[in-house]
Amino acid sequence: MDIDTFEQWSLILGVGGLIAFMVFIMWDLAKKSKAGRFGTFILFVALGLGLLGFIIKTVLVEVVEK
């Protein structure tokens, strides 16, 4: 495995891990604050839009570059 392949996989796994950790934090925040079903939905929508925007930006950059 060359260094470019390693860096690419490390980036994907690292960012993917951070995104998974962010989802856990959102779930834990909703649970500890006793937000209820609607409050949990709002938390995931509001905070999830930031994650979704980051993912969409990354995909768009890859599509435009190719």
- The pLDDT value recorded for residue 15 is 87
Please state the pTM of the whole predicted model.
0.71
pLDDT in tens, the chain (66 residues): 889 899 989 988 998 899 899 899 999 999 999 989 999 999 899 888 888 888 899 899 989 998
- The pLDDT value recorded for residue 35 is 87
- Which residue type sits at 13? L
CA-closest candidate to residue 26, choices 4, 50, 9:
50
Question: How far is CA 41 from each of CA 20, 35, 54, 58, rounded to the nearest angstrom?
Answer: 17, 9, 20, 25
